[in-house]
Structure 1
Amino acid sequence: MENPTAPKAGAMLHLRGNTLFEGDPVALPLTQSSMYHLPGDWTGGPSYGRVDNATWEHLEHVLAYLEDAPTLAFPSGMAAISAALFATVKAGSKLLIPSDGYYVTRRLSERFLQNLGVEVEQRPTTSFADGGFEGFDVVFAETPSNPGLDLCDLRAIADAVHAAGGLLIVDNTTMTPLGQRPLELGADVVAASDTKAPGGHSDVLMGHLATRNEEILQAAREWRQFGGGIPGPQEAWLAHRGLETLEIRFDRMCSTAQVLAERLAAHPRVQAIRFPGLASDPSHGLAKQQMLRFGFLISVTLDSAEQADAFINNCPLIRAATSFGGVHTSAERRARWGDAVAPGFVRISVGTEPAEELWNAMAASLAALGS
């Protein structure tokens, strides 16, 4: 793969440990304070809980190591995406977003950005570069797309966007910095939901933005500070703890997803399947070029909405839930949220269960659909 290798996970685990003095706690302390002691004139240290917090600052330190770029933490993935957009567009700007990406990004753009004078255009992921990027101030890409798992060529898009004078933001939620590195492929900004695999335990909302563009970074920091969209210290502590096991969980999830996808592709109940790791997938060639791993999401299409619900609900090792990236395998019928997919379309988020045990449970649930 052409994409540079991910940061070393062992070094990530010791970023804080290698700065400790005798008697310091090894585990990250939780700084739960809205106020700081400020006698006399302020000298530039921590001043107020909406501006400074040692717990979320260390979370940012670890995320910055993973992204190899300055990073800001936010209380959700959409808070990070909002900061990326509000830091780069203004009235009169022209914005391009994917028509088949995460639906909340579309709703944010249509409901609010358009009302503030931003011109918003949409294109499908597979033809995202068609028509070029002349006139666009900001291009927002998502690859693999959620939930369809289509890909677009990030390096080619970044080159074309920059040649046209624009900025490229990439939503890297589905892959994490361990699976895909958009900044190395030319993106100006990466935004992601750490609610998913980085947090990993379905118990915290968190997001981050990473960029090497100091002007964008400062604008996003001011958007967070003045708008008040800050992460809570308890949530930041949980997200940091999740990051400590990300490499282990992500490796297991991606490896198991490959096994399951190959078996699901051959199952008679599965009408269609999308997984970038399958040689038969239309995006497989591009995935090999720009992704370090093929991810842990699988999309399958069954005969009907009824079969999709039965497959999910009758499998004891699948949790019926929205979102993805947890240690528990989860799935949902995405048509219920209005995505432009078939009624029987199911997005599966592979967890950390043993592969054979998980497959046996899935196979039994699929077999029961005909009974």
Structure 2
Amino acid sequence: MDNEVPQGNVPQQGFETLAIHAGQEPDPTTGAVVPPIYQVSTYKQDGIGGLRGGYEYSRSANPTRTALEECFAAIEGGTRGLAFASGLAAEDAILRTLLRPGDHVVIPNDAYGGTYRLFARVAEPWGVSYDPVPLGDLSAVRAAMRPDTKIVWVETPTNPLLGVSDIAALAAIAHEGGALLVVDNTFASPYLQQPLALGADIVVHSTTKYVGGHSDVVGGALAVQDAELGDRLAFHQNAMGAVAGPFDSWLTLRGIKTLGVRMDRHCDNAEKIVEMLVAHRSVKQVLYPGLPDHPGHDVAVKQMKRFGGMISFRAWSAEDAVRICERTTLFTLGESLGGVESLIEHPGRMTHASAAGSPLEVPADLVRLSVGIEDVADLIADLEHALS
């Protein structure tokens, strides 16, 4: 497998170098090597309209958030990054910027429950229609496109079924139809996959997850290459106001610095756990893009550096799935993902409960793992106990 991730317009520096240095020059006053937390709401102006460095009010701009936005754009291969109070706030800004009543969106038929809720209960009552489509089936995507389709919305891998979609092929279909391609890159992280280099117009994240990486901050971000699109999104970021605060921005920046080394460990551990699960009699099916029989494996090999730290598997019954989730000790029963600690959850009753009864309802026997960076032997022993 090719271990080089396409870098788009990113300067010729390694990912880890950008993660540590982009947007984070030493403080000019003190020489501090970490950007300060500018815990401030307003700024002294040098006369009417005379802004120091473009700062007037921290909803509009804050130096700590600027550092995060510049770094995030760099590691995603974009020219503009924007940081939000949550991943769903970033998604909502995209919808409010690009859509109007009467518009149509193609979404994954196994999208994250919160994304589905945003379309079904916020955008649809506003007049935006959507169709859930299996994005791995390019003919189905083409068939779903309409003259009023403005966005093709992609998660790859998807949450929680770990479906994989061909970003470059979907970008071509979207652009042929006059639509933009939005890619939720949360599961892969910028370290493993770079959608902008593959033709996406916008990449969006819940930075709460792998980018932050320590389960101590909630945030979201997006990145683009097109300057005019970046300006439009930035206008809505400021007008709607769901921005990342200074301390949240600082915590997220701290997480980015170790993203590369953490993702390598997440992947190492996940691959060993997958090997155990595949062979276990209590597991009916393992969903992981690194498995050769995964339907999206060949695409994942092409567009991802490695296959990530998320694993889903199906037990033999819904009751078995719940029992497994309740019996682990190192795998903490909890929502969210991407932190250094391992988590286990039952998507049908937890993260994806909002999709119950919809075309996006997930199997009741599904278990989702967010594999952390603990000693993998301990993690395997914990799962073996829960599965026994």
**One-letter amino acid of the counterpart of residue 119, structure 1:** S
Q: Name the CA distance, whole Å, in 2 between partners of 1:274 and 1:297.
A: 9
Partner of residue 93 from structure 2, selected from 71, 78, 83: 83
TM-score normalised per structure 1: 0.94
Report the RMSD for the aligned CA atoms in angstroms. Answer: 1.8
| Cα deviations by residue, 1:39-90 (Å, 9 ceiling, x for unpaired) | 4211242111211111111011111110121110011111111112221111
Partner of residue 120 from structure 1, selected from 114, 130, 140: 130
2:6 pairs with 1:4: yes
Q: Is the 8 A contact 2:18 2:74 kept in 1?
A: no
Partner of residue 40 from structure 1, selected from 23, 30, 47: 47
Tell me how far 1:131 sits from its aligned partner.
5.0
Q: Is the 8 A contact 1:305 1:333 kept in 2?
A: no
2:335 pairs with 1:335: no
Q: Is the 8 A contact 2:217 2:248 kept in 1?
A: yes
Gaps of 5+ in 2: none
User: 1:126 aligns to what SS in structure 2?
Assistant: coil
2:60 pairs with 1:51: yes
Partner of 1:60: 69
Partner of residue 236 from structure 1, selected from 245, 249, 253: 249
User: 1:259 aligns to what SS in structure 2?
Assistant: helix
**One-letter amino acid of the counterpart of residue 25, structure 1:** A
- What pairs with 1:1-371 in structure 2 (closer than 5 Å)? 1=2, 3-4=5-6, 7-15=14-22, 18-21=25-28, 23-44=30-51, 45-69=54-78, 70-127=80-137, 129-132=139-142, 133-135=145-147, 136-336=149-349, 337=353, 338=356, 340-367=361-388
TM-score normalised per structure 2: 0.90
Gaps of 5+ in 1: none
Tell me how far 1:260 sits from its aligned partner.
0.7
Q: Is the 8 A contact 1:204 1:239 kept in 2?
A: yes
Tell me how far 1:288 sits from its aligned partner.
0.4
| Cα deviations by residue, 1:138-166 (Å, 9 ceiling, x for unpaired) | 11111111100111111111111111211
**One-letter amino acid of the counterpart of residue 4, structure 1:** P
Task: Assess, with a 3 A threshold, how the Cα gap between structure 1 residues 331 and 155 changes in structure 2: closer, same or farther.
Answer: same
Q: Is the 8 A contact 1:13 1:244 kept in 2?
A: yes
**One-letter amino acid of the counterpart of residue 379, structure 2:** L
Tell me how far 1:355 sits from its aligned partner.
1.4
Tell me how far 1:21 sits from its aligned partner.
4.7
Tell me how far 1:192 sits from its aligned partner.
0.8
Q: Name the CA distance, whole Å, in 2 between partners of 1:137 and 1:352.
A: 39
Q: Name the CA distance, whole Å, in 2 between partners of 1:119 and 1:312.
A: 36
Report the count of equivalent residues.
367
